[in-house]
Amino acid sequence: MIKSVLLVFAMEAEAQPLIQALGLKEDVPAKIVGPAPCVTFSGEHEGLAVHVVWNGKCKDHGVDNVGTVPASLSTYLAVLAFKPDVVISAGTCGGFKAQGAAIGDVFLGTAVINHDRRIPLPAFDKYGLGHAALLATPHLQAALGLKSGVVSSGNSLDYTDKCMEIMTSHGAALKEMEAAAIAWACALYKVPLMCVKAVTDIVDGDRPTAEEFLENLHSAAAALQTTLPKVLAYLAGKELAAL
């Protein structure tokens, strides 16, 4: 039975709307101590214990700690601290119009891959791709009317032709920078993972990614603020097999 959920966010702008909507409070004293930069918040929603970890700011550059390394660190430490029943990789992403994505859509992930971790050696090639299935949630998807698809992770906002080839060949619907790393950390503790992502830009579109991302970040975060409480309410008290 699901009693506790941890949500992992890379950016403060993605996390704050949900933190405010649910009235979550920063954990004092801190559940995760320095030098780890991540910050955690906790509260309750519909009888469910809700914890949020945000990757925090880079002390040298003053920007959010995005990418796979901060994501895996935050997830590892937060799972250790809170021992959640389910982890949700939440945030924004690029979407593929070829897979039905439009700006503002909220997706549930079905699996994760890495599109820029290419290691052409026996067995390392599959390790590099890191394909992993996510928690199956067909009833949740139907109840909330959400789209679904494969989530592809990399450490660059842009992509190479080879990245696109890998994403396309694996039917990626979403492109972002954290989910596959979060999946790796969750697998260490055998904690089921969901991905709930809102689309800021169209990967296979004709506008520059950075331009669309900045233009639509706050509206996508608002879409998450609307959807995530519904997801949490649906999860509360459910068995994993009922999702």
Q: What is the pLDDT of residues 57-116, one digit of tens each?
A: 999 999 999 999 999 999 999 999 999 999 999 999 999 999 999 999 999 999 999 999
Domain presence at residue 241: no
Buried b / exposed e along 108-147 (16+ C-beta atoms within 10 A): bbbbbbbbbbeeeeeeeeeebbbebebbbbeebbeebebb
Number of domains in the chain: 1
Domain boundaries, position 86: 4-236
> Are 109 and 194 within 8 A, CB to CB?
yes
- Catalytic residue from among 64, 105, 116, 201: 201
Domain presence at residue 243: no
Domain presence at residue 230: yes
Domain presence at residue 155: yes
> Are 163 and 116 within 8 A, CB to CB?
yes
206 in catalytic set: no
CA distance 71 to 77: 10
Domain presence at residue 26: yes
Helices 68-82, 179-189: inter-axial angle, 10-degree rounding: 30
Q: Which residues contact 239 (CB under 8 A, 6 or more apart)?
A: 1, 2
Mean pLDDT, the chain, as a whole number? Answer: 96
With vertex at residue 159, the alpha carbon angle to CA 117 and CA 214, rounded to the nearest 5 degrees, is: 120
Mean pLDDT of 179-195: 98
- Please give the model's pTM, rounded to 2 decimal places: 0.96
161 in catalytic set: no
HSE-CB of 101 using CA atoms within 13 angstroms: 33
> Are 200 and 106 within 8 A, CB to CB?
no
> Are 44 and 52 within 8 A, CB to CB?
no
Domain presence at residue 156: yes
- Catalytic residue from among 14, 64, 116, 178: 14
Domain presence at residue 204: yes
Domain presence at residue 21: yes
Q: Look at residue 101 in the predicted model and tell me its pLDDT.
A: 96
Structure tokens of 221? 């975060």
Q: Look at residue 119 in the predicted model and tell me its pLDDT.
A: 97
Q: Which domain CATH number covers 159?
A: 3.40.50.1580
With vertex at residue 36, the alpha carbon angle to CA 91 and CA 5, rounded to the nearest 5 degrees, is: 45
> Are 50 and 44 within 8 A, CB to CB?
yes
